[in-house]
Structure 1
Amino acid sequence: MCHAIPKPSNRSNVKQRQPAMSGTIPDDAVPRASSPQSQAGTDSASAFVKSRKDGRKTTSYGEEEKDLGLPVLEGWPLGSTVFALCLALLLATLDTTIISTSLITIASDFGHFDQASWIIVSYLLTYSGFLLIFTRLSDVLGRKPVLMFSILMFLVWSIGCGFSQTLKQLIVFRALQGIGGAGIYALAYASVLDVVPFRLVSAASGAISMSTACASLLGPVLGGVITSNTTWRWVFWINIPCGVLVTVCVAFLFPNETQSRRLGKPALQQIDWPGILLSLTGSSLLVISLEEGGVHFSWRSLFVVLMLVGSVICFLAFGIWEHVLTPREASMKMLPLFPTRLISSRVVAATLGTVFFTGFPFVVTIMALPQRLQIVNGDSPENAGLHMLPLIGSTALGAILTGTITGKFNIAWHLLVFSNVLMTVGCGLMSTLPTDSEIANLCYLYQIILGFGFGLTMASSMVVIRTEVAMKDNTVSLGAVTQLRQLGGVIGLAVTQAILNGDFRSQLAKFLSDEELRSVMLSTANIANLSDSHRDLTCRAYGRSSNAQMRVVTAFAGAAILMSMFARQNAPRDRKALEAERVAFHTGRTTSVELHSGSVTRINLVHARLVNKIETSSAPYLVDSGGLIETTPREESLATRF
């Protein structure tokens, strides 16, 4: 038996025939379910569609998602879970930067200053390498168990870091802590799409982005405050009470999977082990080479060159393998770590490129601004934090506003371009700061502009990706966003730090002796040992070098603007289309949907599969429980077999 849904010949006919299409579905148009289970699915889906007096049907997935069996939360469990996810993300992100202002104190305790940088490098190695891996593992093993493992991993090794007795112990524990941090960072965004009602997804995503941005900026400040007032070990122990709270919230409030998943041979066979190996190796070699180059090894040394070449080879091999695996994932029963079908979309590819370039100014500013305030302006770590409040506050405001605006208007791409323009202007203005010891009032205005750009960029890029990819690719695409931003930041920091050090050294060589030059380049704390005249000249020289660093950052931010222009969405899916796909993905149940554009979706009831036709202002979509499967306009009718 076959039922066809006729398609209007033109757009105008859609509105004329809308009442007829969206009226009550005749009993003979829907086949009777052949089993109680099928009938239950049909009944619940039918109940989900509310009839109005005028005969039209509309849905409100935000209110009725639980009726369809979606694993969403509401009320205080929802608020508590989102708060826990934000807190977990804040802790994981905080640990990428909080150690920077405590490094000298820790090195003094253990007596190995030449190896102290590995305390940061070890965390970045695993943190950057495992971001994409955890997103795919959660698709195979389930979101909740992988998130719980990540939180416990981060919490246990945070305790271990605090109790470390040697530098080697601390380095190893930091690497293990970074694995848990990567899982938290990657899954916090993905979890929002699972447990938050659709009408609140934009607001929750804004809160998540705000937590990420603020944690990165607060890290150096909080690290300095803790180290100045108590032992450096509390930099890690502070994670314990917060981590316990997060663990309890996720364990008892986070909904279980709608389908049970077990760790066994079938699940392990779905994991892309070659992709994991190549991605992890490439990321590790890249981070090591960039962190060690120009510090312990010359950029032209054999060690750094081999690391960089090895990284390029691994990433090329990774791309080739993923390209081969993606079209064969069904036959090979293996989920690619990064499906190359994502970058076949111009919008997705351009957005990922934009995210990579925005990582440069974000990470560099986090590390460079506190140092400038302390060296040039003579701030203590605490005062440097206070003077960065405009940057922190405007970043949070930008992220929140993005969530609010995109929840009402489908203008994520416009915000992405605008935010990158703001960020570029802010970086350019920061490169013009005066080099005297007084903090110019304009510095606060520049921070507000830059921070607002940061907040808008982080949140809007997530929204563009979410509205562009199919539901089944949401998690892995968001994981790619986080990993590319992190890698962009690491590369940007290495490049600009090398420029700053070279420019600073060349200026100091004009008036300092060789011994004084080596002392200052070893630690900027030794600037205090110089004579008054040399101290003033050195601080001004650092200010000029910092401005040169920000000019390079401005160029990378400008590249982000150009890249974002290619991410223009010609016909982004509206909220109703995304809602329909989400219901299909999680439940397979069916209903009718009225889109914002006024056109109507007619969805036939099938046993456990959704097959529908969504007609927007530009093109129809075919959606099934696996996600968006076709976006090509067609004029023929859609026939559904039963």
Structure 2
Amino acid sequence: MSLSPLRLRLLVASLLTVAFLGALDHTIVATSLATVAGELGALEQMSWVVVGYTLAGTALFPVLGKLGDLVGPRLVFLTSVAVFLVASLACGFAQDMTQLVIARVAQGMSSAGVQLMSQTIVAYVTTPRQRPRYMSIIGAAFPIAILVGPVLGGVITDYWGWPWVFWINLPFGLAALVLAAFAVPHVETGAPRRFDYGGAVTFTVALVALVLGVTWIGHPGSALAAIVAFAVAGIGLAAFFAIEMRAREPIVPLGFFADRTVAAGVALSAIIGIGLFSVTAYLPTYFQMAYRTSATVSGLVPIATVFGMLVANLGTGWLASRTGRYRGYTIFGTTLASSGLLVMALLPVGTPLWVPMIVMFAVGIGTGAFMSLVIAVVQGAVPRNETGTITATTNLVRQMGSTLGTAVIGGVIGAGVAAQLPASLDASSLTPTLVHGSAPAVQAEVAQIYGDVFVPVFAALAITYAIGIVAAILLPPGRLSDEPAPSATESVTEPAAA
């Protein structure tokens, strides 16, 4: 559908606002988490505020994507925004940790709907040639949220109180909801289609069990629970694939992966989750221990990484829309990121901090070069009435790659440090403050241990991106079309408000 320039700008402003609020909730809460848990008297349950949010959103990705194809993305989007605002209100009024976690689960579910439908709506109202530019604008919400979220969360908690970390969503979200009610078009999806209830249930059970297993495996005393969770996940996934092979309307159409564009694009999306999102959380610890920096200074490297990601995401989106070419950016991006991570593996401990900052900025540039672009390319490879489904699948593999990669890297770091620490230091109570207050010889020894432990981590991530180079080369070359490709079974109409 062709929208007027003003209508399209209003639409993008609305989608960007709610996408940013959804992304911000991943980062803004982290700074206030200790305060929230302390005031609610449930420090031991603190992690569930984050896990509940992430798990709920990840599990519902394919379900929400399919619903967008069946009932139209407008209804799913507006409902998701409304639920997100109600859940944000409930989070601030929570009287105990149970109430907060329940509200956070609702927030996570609705945030996933906002993210997916924002990308799906952009695909419906733009041509394939226009899509990368607008997709990169919506995709900028995530790196911006990473940059401003922790600082904003700290300021709000200190001056307004932690409930406002959630209530800050309300004025902006309400404005975006009103704007979206006018700007987001109706999408008629044609004849009624059957929803894959069996696939939805088995996939949700399997994914929840898998994430719980990954979460529990690293905690002492939770090994049996993790094993049970992995067993349930295995059975659930087996049942899911059996159902999807026979379903008339599968929530994850496995046949799409026979298309090289889809297969390569989804693989590249997974590599972003595994290759960069998984390690970002550990970079501050690495620099505090190996480079003996303060907590504040250690945050400069992740900031440089995310800033590079933001710049490249917007730049390649604009270039791809201008030229119609996309394959070269994926090859360039994976090559640059792989090379940067290899350099990180080879850097000796004690190198001036500006060196790893530049290297990780380059890794961010490489990742941002195809972060949003692959979603736009994959969307163009399937029928328009499957846009929500393929968008959900692409986002799902990225999120799962990040979740599993984070758990594996955390386990490798924990085990490696514990195995090499001298007997005088306890790995379970080792903190940067403790190390920085120790004798210079101890500091040097710990720095070398962290340097040695992170070498195989950076090397493995470089190999991951090297696999991405292969996927990028296998991505079929082509030029994005200037013409929309409407499905024979759907039409796009103006909303009644217009």
Q: What TM-score, normalized to structure 1?
A: 0.70
One-letter code aligned to 1:560: G
Equivalent-residue separation in structure 1 for 2:358 and 2:177 (angstroms): 39
Which residue number in structure 2 is paired with residue 31 of structure 1? none
Verify the 8 A CA contact 1:124 1:287 in the aligned structure 2: no
Which residue number in structure 2 is paired with residue 378 of structure 1? 293
Question: Judging changes above 3 Å, is the alpha-carbon distance between structure 1 residues 99 and 387 closer, same or farther for their aligned structure 2 residues?
Answer: same
Higher mean alpha-carbon deviation, 580-589 vs 276-285, is at 580-589
Greater RCO between the two (CA within 8 Å, min separation 6)?
Answer: 2
Cα offset for 1:363? 1.5
One-letter code aligned to 2:429: S
Which residue number in structure 2 is paired with residue 349 of structure 1? 263
Which residue number in structure 2 is paired with residue 247 of structure 1? 177
Secondary structure of the residue aligned to 1:575 is coil
Equivalent-residue separation in structure 2 for 1:78 and 1:370 (angstroms): 40
Larger proportion of helix: 2
Q: Deviations over 1:133-184 (max 9, x none)?
A: 1111111222111101111111211222222222222222211111001101
Does residue 273 in structure 1 map to residue 197 in structure 2?
yes
Does residue 317 in structure 1 map to residue 242 in structure 2?
no
Superposed, 1:156-195 pairs within 5 Å as 156-195=86-125
Which residue number in structure 2 is paired with residue 390 of structure 1? 304
Q: Deviations over 1:338-382 (max 9, x none)?
A: 12220122331232223222211222233122344555543345x
One-letter code aligned to 2:486: R
Cα offset for 1:204? 0.3
Which residue number in structure 1 is paired with residue 398 of structure 2? 485
Secondary structure of the residue aligned to 2:336 is helix
Which residue number in structure 2 is paired with residue 10 of structure 1? none
Secondary structure of the residue aligned to 2:424 is coil
Does residue 519 in structure 1 map to residue 417 in structure 2?
no
Cα offset for 1:574? 4.4
Does residue 416 in structure 1 map to residue 330 in structure 2?
yes
One-letter code aligned to 2:424: L
Question: Judging changes above 3 Å, is the alpha-carbon distance between structure 1 residues 92 and 547 closer, same or farther for their aligned structure 2 residues?
Answer: farther
Equivalent-residue separation in structure 1 for 2:76 and 2:32 (angstroms): 31
Superposed, 1:360-379 pairs within 5 Å as 360-374=274-288, 376-379=291-294
Equivalent-residue separation in structure 1 for 2:129 and 2:201 (angstroms): 39
Secondary structure of the residue aligned to 2:250 is coil
Does residue 116 in structure 1 map to residue 31 in structure 2?
no
Secondary structure of the residue aligned to 1:73 is coil
Verify the 8 A CA contact 1:355 1:560 in the aligned structure 2: no
Cα offset for 1:480? 0.5
Cα offset for 1:257? 3.4
Q: Deviations over 1:547-568 (max 9, x none)?
A: 44333322322232233333x3
Match of 1:581 among 473, 476, 485: 485
Question: Judging changes above 3 Å, is the alpha-carbon distance between structure 1 residues 103 and 306 closer, same or farther for their aligned structure 2 residues?
Answer: same
Secondary structure of the residue aligned to 2:186 is coil
Equivalent-residue separation in structure 2 for 1:399 and 1:207 (angstroms): 8
The count of residues paired between Structure 1 and Structure 2 equals: 491
Secondary structure of the residue aligned to 1:270 is coil
Which residue number in structure 1 is paired with residue 470 of structure 2? 562
Which residue number in structure 1 is paired with residue 496 of structure 2? none
Verify the 8 A CA contact 2:21 2:169 in the aligned structure 1: yes
Does residue 495 in structure 1 map to residue 401 in structure 2?
no
Which residue number in structure 2 is paired with residue 85 of structure 1? 15
Cα offset for 1:505? 1.6
Superposed, 1:296-315 pairs within 5 Å as 296-297=220-221, 301-315=223-237
Higher mean alpha-carbon deviation, 137-146 vs 342-351, is at 342-351
Question: Judging changes above 3 Å, is the alpha-carbon distance between structure 1 residues 575 and 451 closer, same or farther for their aligned structure 2 residues?
Answer: same
Question: Judging changes above 3 Å, is the alpha-carbon distance between structure 1 residues 228 and 462 closer, same or farther for their aligned structure 2 residues?
Answer: same
Question: Judging changes above 3 Å, is the alpha-carbon distance between structure 1 residues 80 and 379 closer, same or farther for their aligned structure 2 residues?
Answer: farther
One-letter code aligned to 1:474: T
One-letter code aligned to 2:219: V
Which residue number in structure 1 is paired with residue 37 of structure 2? 107
Which residue number in structure 1 is paired with residue 81 of structure 2? 151
One-letter code aligned to 1:424: S
Which residue number in structure 2 is paired with residue 62 of structure 1? none
Verify the 8 A CA contact 2:265 2:375 in the aligned structure 1: no
Superposed, 1:192-341 pairs within 5 Å as 192-196=122-126, 200-216=130-146, 218-220=148-150, 222-224=152-154, 226-227=156-157, 231-258=161-188, 270-297=194-221, 301-325=223-247, 329=248, 335-341=249-255
Equivalent-residue separation in structure 2 for 1:222 and 1:559 (angstroms): 37
Question: Judging changes above 3 Å, is the alpha-carbon distance between structure 1 residues 258 and 518 closer, same or farther for their aligned structure 2 residues?
Answer: closer
5+ residue gaps in structure 2?
494-498
5+ residue gaps in structure 1?
1-69, 330-334, 590-642
Q: What TM-score, normalized to structure 2?
A: 0.89
Verify the 8 A CA contact 1:361 1:427 in the aligned structure 2: no
Superposed, 1:3-82 pairs within 5 Å as 70=1, 72-82=2-12
Secondary structure of the residue aligned to 1:271 is coil
Question: Judging changes above 3 Å, is the alpha-carbon distance between structure 1 residues 322 and 216 closer, same or farther for their aligned structure 2 residues?
Answer: farther
Cα offset for 1:243? 1.5
Secondary structure of the residue aligned to 1:124 is helix
Verify the 8 A CA contact 1:217 1:366 in the aligned structure 2: no
Equivalent-residue separation in structure 2 for 1:580 and 1:531 (angstroms): 64
Equivalent-residue separation in structure 2 for 1:392 and 1:585 (angstroms): 41
One-letter code aligned to 2:379: R
One-letter code aligned to 1:306: V
Aligned-residue identity in percent: 25
Which residue number in structure 2 is paired with residue 359 of structure 1? 273
Secondary structure of the residue aligned to 1:257 is strand
Secondary structure of the residue aligned to 2:486 is helix
Q: Deviations over 1:210-259 (max 9, x none)?
A: 22343345544544555566634333233223212221211222223357
Which residue number in structure 2 is paired with residue 453 of structure 1? 366
Equivalent-residue separation in structure 2 for 1:433 and 1:169 (angstroms): 47
Question: Judging changes above 3 Å, is the alpha-carbon distance between structure 1 residues 426 and 230 closer, same or farther for their aligned structure 2 residues?
Answer: farther
Question: Judging changes above 3 Å, is the alpha-carbon distance between structure 1 residues 582 and 98 closer, same or farther for their aligned structure 2 residues?
Answer: same
